[in-house]
A and B are shown apart, each in its own frame.
Chain A
Amino acid sequence: MATFKFELVSPERILFSGDVVSVIIPSVEGEVTVLAGHAPFVATLKAGIVFVQTTDQNGKEFFVNGGLVEVNQTSTTILAEQGRFIEDVDTAVLDAEILTAETRLAGSHSDEDKKRLQETLVQLREFKHVFEQRKAA
């Protein structure tokens, strides 16, 4: 199976680095699946789950919140503003994130910031909903 190099980095650490078969990315305009040989593109991310399929048919999941993905001929890189292993995410973590976004929204002054934070907040709430449903299933 054709593979490509994939890296997921957050400001604090490298969460994943290695050869993968496919990656599903939550871009702002919808989920994108990247396979080897994908056309180069750049997209911004929303809050959601990155699903990584490694060569041994194992799946790995990560939670990301905001950031950017770059796909070129040889490699794919996600620069996440926030990233965690899915095992480290629970409702409490998401609630904390939502609270942070809310306080920042209340404290922001420029319209641009407000718009951006509002979007983040909507994404986070949406993701929390999805996350809870997933857990229930």
Chain B
Amino acid sequence: MPSLKDLRNRIASVKATQKITKAMQMVAAAKLRRAQSAAEAARPYAERMETVLANLASGVSGSSAPRLIAGTGSDKVHLLLVLTAERGLCGAFNSSIARLARDKANALKAEGKTVKIICVGKKGYDILRRQFASEIIEFIDLREFKQVGFVNAETVAQNVLTRFGNGEFDVATLFFSKFRSVIAQIPTAQRIIPAEIPEGTKQSDAVYDYEPDEGEILEALLPRNLTVQILRGLLENAASEQGARMSAMDSATRNAGEMIKKQTQLYNRSRQAMITKELIEIISGAEAL
């Protein structure tokens, strides 16, 4: 049986924790609004880009097609680009992205392929490092940036393109969490090199005239597409992270409230029991006289 002082201390500490989780929830809610509108605003551009690419891709298949769209012709070396958050305390957000990447990496290794991993975000790096220390070739830290933007996506895309140019890998897959709603974030794997053309995005199979010329346009479009897709991943991730943190902190606050209720009840009961005990002692002492 804990003493009354112990109980009081315990209640006070749970109350302090509740205050922190409550504050974190409100901060996440405020940040979520901004992150969500940024993610939603970036969607149309990325989607139109995919459509245009899908329309063009059908015309350029063949030996002359750029390697970013046709691939290198082999799929021996896979690059996994894992986007996660820089901070924890957001439920299963980081671990679910890392799990998807881990499963993919294990499956590829079982097929005898070589796997290389680039981690963007500290949390994913921490999780994947345990199992894939030798596979991780780079860790990109975005902690100093309050709001991820086009510049960040461009840096990551440049990094990937340089490696691709050096022939360091054949296929690249992007891992991020798609923002559906505050309670639903879907960990997603998207192949970015060679560019993945989702079913049903193609609208026309016309033969295009190019101005200035096909090679030049695709040379400008394909790297840009990569940047846009990475940017979308980063923005969706930012919104998902805040959503996940908000709901995680909401349930933490609720759990703390429940705990406080139980502890307070226990505290009151034992206080009452003690008073009753003391009364009995006084009365029986008086009777004995």
Enumerate chain A interface residues (CB-CB to B < 8 A). Answer: 7, 9-14, 27-29, 32, 39-44, 68, 70, 72-75, 77, 79
* Contact assessment for A42 and B44 in the assembled complex, using a CB-CB cutoff below 8 Å: no
Pick the residue among A13, A14, A29, A73 that contacts B206 (CB under 8 A): A73
* Contact assessment for A42 and B211 in the assembled complex, using a CB-CB cutoff below 8 Å: yes
* Contact assessment for B209 and A39 in the assembled complex, using a CB-CB cutoff below 8 Å: yes
> What are 27 residue pairs bridging A and B, where the CB atoms are less than 8 Å apart in the complex?
A9-B45, A10-B45, A11-B42, A11-B231, A12-B41, A13-B41, A13-B44, A14-B44, A40-B204, A41-B209, A41-B210, A42-B52, A42-B208, A42-B209, A43-B210, A43-B212, A44-B212, A44-B217, A68-B217, A70-B208, A72-B55, A72-B203, A72-B204, A72-B208, A74-B203, A77-B48, A77-B52
Which of A11, A27, A75 is the most central at the interface, judged by chain B CB atoms within 10 Å of its CB? A11
Q: Please give me the residue from chain B that is nearest to A28 by CB atom.
A: B212
Q: Please give me the residue from chain B that is nearest to A40 by CB atom.
A: B206
Name B200-218 residues within 8 Å CB distance of A.
Answer: 203-204, 206-212, 216-217
In the complex, which residues of chain A have a beta carbon less than 8 angstroms from the beta carbon of B56? 42, 70
In the complex, which residues of chain B have a beta carbon less than 8 angstroms from the beta carbon of A79? 45, 48-49, 52
Name B169-194 residues within 8 Å CB distance of A.
Answer: none
* Contact assessment for A43 and B211 in the assembled complex, using a CB-CB cutoff below 8 Å: yes
* Contact assessment for A70 and B52 in the assembled complex, using a CB-CB cutoff below 8 Å: yes
- With an 8 A cutoff between CB atoms, is B1 at the interface? no
Q: How far is the CA of A10 from the CA of B150 in the complex (A)?
A: 12
* Contact assessment for A9 and B217 in the assembled complex, using a CB-CB cutoff below 8 Å: no
In the complex, which residues of chain A have a beta carbon less than 8 angstroms from the beta carbon of B264? none
In the complex, which residues of chain B have a beta carbon less than 8 angstroms from the beta carbon of A13? 41, 44
Given contacts A29-B212, A41-B210, A43-B212, 7 further A-B contacts (CB under 8 A): A12-B41, A43-B211, A43-B217, A44-B220, A70-B52, A70-B56, A72-B204
Q: Please give me the residue from chain A that is nearest to B207 by CB atom.
A: A40
Closest 10 pairs between A and B when the two form their complex, measured CB to CB: A40-B206, A41-B209, A43-B211, A72-B204, A70-B52, A40-B208, A11-B45, A9-B45, A42-B208, A14-B44
In the complex, which residues of chain A have a beta carbon less than 8 angstroms from the beta carbon of B208? 40-42, 70, 72
In the complex, which residues of chain A have a beta carbon less than 8 angstroms from the beta carbon of B226? none
The smallest C-beta distance from A46 to any residue of chain B, in angstroms, reads 11
Q: How far is the CA of A49 from the CA of B173 in the complex (A)?
A: 38
Give how many A-B residue pairs fall within 8 Å (CB-CB): 73
- With an 8 A cutoff between CB atoms, is B89 at the interface? no
In the complex, which residues of chain A have a beta carbon less than 8 angstroms from the beta carbon of B231? 11
The smallest C-beta distance from A115 to any residue of chain B, in angstroms, reads 12
Q: How far is the CA of A9 from the CA of B231 in the complex (A)?
A: 16
Q: Please give me the residue from chain A that is nearest to B51 by CB atom.
A: A77
- With an 8 A cutoff between CB atoms, is B279 at the interface? no
- With an 8 A cutoff between CB atoms, is B256 at the interface? no
Q: How far is the CA of A70 from the CA of B48 in the complex (A)?
A: 10
Name B214-260 residues within 8 Å CB distance of A.
Answer: 216-217, 220-221, 228, 231
Q: How far is the CA of A95 from the CA of B150 in the complex (A)?
A: 21
* Contact assessment for A11 and B210 in the assembled complex, using a CB-CB cutoff below 8 Å: no
The smallest C-beta distance from B148 to any residue of chain A, in angstroms, reads 13
Q: How far is the CA of A32 from the CA of B41 in the complex (A)?
A: 29
Q: How far is the CA of A40 from the CA of B211 in the complex (A)?
A: 11
* Contact assessment for B45 and A40 in the assembled complex, using a CB-CB cutoff below 8 Å: no
Q: How far is the CA of A41 from the CA of B210 in the complex (A)?
A: 6
* Contact assessment for B204 and A73 in the assembled complex, using a CB-CB cutoff below 8 Å: yes
The smallest C-beta distance from B10 to any residue of chain A, in angstroms, reads 51
* Contact assessment for A11 and B211 in the assembled complex, using a CB-CB cutoff below 8 Å: no
The smallest C-beta distance from B39 to any residue of chain A, in angstroms, reads 12
Q: How far is the CA of A73 from the CA of B49 in the complex (A)?
A: 17
In the complex, which residues of chain A have a beta carbon less than 8 angstroms from the beta carbon of B42? 11-12
